[in-house]
């Protein structure tokens, strides 16, 4: 009877050790995953801040260019255009619609 109890105890103790090692391994894998996810969040946050800074710079540049464009556009007047030698051209040809505009002829048959 003592031999059976000793065998059962050693088997149970070995099984308990395997379960403990498995739990330690799972905990280690989960800790590595947690650290990797924290690194991912931090790196993406830093990248987002850099992108936001770039967007702010580009927006500022666009606003400056818009103000320059408006300033230059306000200086152009019809008198200035005529003084530079430009004038309105006359239209020589016209586009006219015929009654058969929507009709397609294909090999003698009208659709």
Structural tokens at position 61: 């540049």
Residues 3-17 pLDDT 10s: 655 566 677 777 888
Structural tokens at position 107: 């090999």
Buried-exposed string 44-57: b where 16+ CB fall within 10 A, e elsewhere? eeeeeeeeeeeeee
Structural tokens at position 89: 């051209």
Distance in angstroms (rounded) separating the CA atoms of residues 106 and 39: 69
The pLDDT value given to residue 2: 56
**pTM across the whole model:** 0.51
Residues 43-57 pLDDT 10s: 999 999 999 999 999
Structural tokens at position 15: 């099984």
């Amino acid at each position: 009877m003592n031999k059976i109890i000793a065998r059962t105890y050693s088997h149970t103790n070995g099984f308990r050790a395997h379960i403990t090692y498995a739990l330690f391994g799972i905990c280690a894998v989960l800790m590595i995953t947690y650290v990797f996810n924290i690194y991912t969040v931090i790196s993406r946050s830093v990248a987002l801040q850099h992108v936001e800074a770039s967007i702010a710079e580009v927006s500022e540049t666009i606003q400056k260019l818009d103000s320059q464009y408006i300033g230059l556009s306000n200086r152009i007047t019809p008198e200035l255009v005529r003084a530079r030698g430009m004038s309105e051209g006359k239209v020589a040809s016209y586009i006219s619609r015929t009654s058969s505009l929507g009709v397609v002829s294909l090999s003698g048959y009208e659709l």
